[in-house]
């Protein structure tokens, strides 16, 4: 190797590197620029996220035959990354209002816990299954249309499920095309037979009578400002 004599002062140096084609490139040649990364900051749901001045809300009415007063469930949502491709709508808080003060304590506790879970972020859909699995030891009730509710808490679970489906956090529980076709066929077959009758089609009690909380018979009517069961005589007024 030939020696190279350096007479001047060395002010900088660089190590020569070989390219894939066998050539070499010195320090004077610019290096290829790296691709710039997307520095867009995506805001996700977390417990330290401050509450905006205004939230988008939806209110659902709950009228059960086991209570004289309706409950109104309001779920407020926060919009994350608004006007971007990462825009999402997530539940932020829940409120339950009713004139019935019998449930005041557990309503306050439940709404605070659920709101804290919403603000925590992540997958909050587990609340639906947890609420729907609560059963009232006195028995549930039937909704108009034939849906059985095991408890008021379970109905709140169905409301949360409906809301999460509306904002896109849960998929719609609607049956598939094949399942709907099978249901339609069975429904047509059942109607064609016409031999089975509804056990509750005929009732000796007035139309619109509510379910009695004591005997579980739809025989409670309003008399003199108080609900009275025409089956067992139970009345909240004594």
Same domain, 68 and 150: yes
Task: Quote the pLDDT of residue 35.
Answer: 46
Cβ-based neighbours of 124, under 8 Å, separated by 6 or more: 91, 117, 118, 164, 169
Name the residue among 75, 137, 63, 136 with its Cα closest to residue 100: 63
- Domain containing 231 equals 208-238
CB 94 within 8 A of CB 74: yes
Tokens 């816990």 belong to residue: 113
Same domain, 235 and 155: no
CA distance 148 to 141: 6
Final residue belonging to a domain, choices 166, 195, 225: 166
Task: Quote the pLDDT of residue 112.
Answer: 95
CB 224 within 8 A of CB 209: no
Residue 83 domain flag: yes
CB 32 within 8 A of CB 19: no
pLDDT tens per residue, the chain (238 residues)? 567 777 777 777 777 776 545 554 454 555 555 544 455 688 888 888 888 899 999 999 998 888 888 999 999 999 988 888 888 899 999 999 988 888 889 899 999 999 999 999 888 999 999 999 999 888 888 887 678 889 999 999 999 999 999 998 888 777 778 878 877 887 787 777 665 555 555 567 777 788 887 777 787 888 777 888 887 778 777 6
Same domain, 68 and 151: yes
The values of phi and psi at residue 185, to 5°, are: -65, -45
- Cα(first)–Cα(last) distance of the chain, in Å? 114
CA distance 51 to 78: 8
Which tens digit of pLDDT belongs to each residue from 122-146?
889 999 999 999 998 888 888 876 7
Residue 151 domain flag: yes
CB 235 within 8 A of CB 210: no
Domain count, the chain: 2
pTM: 0.60
User: Nearest 5 degrees, angle CA 169-CA 174-CA 176?
Assistant: 115
Same domain, 162 and 60: yes
């Amino acid at each position: 190797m030939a020696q190279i004599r350096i007479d001047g002062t060395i002010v900088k140096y660089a190590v020569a590197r070989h390219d894939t084609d066998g050539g070499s490139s010195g320090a004077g040649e610019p290096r290829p620029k790296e691709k710039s990364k997307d520095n867009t900051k995506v805001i996700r749901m977390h417990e330290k996220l401050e509450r905006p001045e205004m939230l988008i809300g939806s209110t659902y009415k709950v009228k059960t035959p086991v209570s004289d007063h309706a409950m109104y469930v309001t779920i407020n949502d926060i919009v994350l990354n608004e006007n971007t491709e990462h825009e999402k709508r997530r539940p932020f808080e829940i409120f339950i209002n009713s004139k019935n003060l019998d449930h005041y304590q557990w309503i306050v506790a439940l709404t605070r816990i659920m709101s804290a879970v919403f603000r925590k972020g992540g997958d909050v859909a587990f609340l639906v299954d947890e609420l729907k699995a609560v059963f009232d030891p006195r028995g549930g009730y039937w909704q108009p249309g034939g849906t059985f509710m095991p408890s008021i808490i379970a109905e709140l679970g169905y409301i949360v499920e409906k809301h999460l489906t509306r904002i896109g956090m849960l998929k719609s529980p609607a049956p598939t095309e094949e399942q709907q076709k099978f249901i339609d066929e069975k429904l047509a077959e059942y109607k064609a037979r016409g031999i089975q009758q509804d056990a509750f089609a005929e009732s000796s009690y007035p139309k619109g009578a509510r379910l009695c909380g004591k005997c579980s018979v739809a025989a409670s009517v309003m008399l003199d400002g108080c609900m009275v069961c025409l089956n067992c005589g139970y009345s909240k007024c004594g």
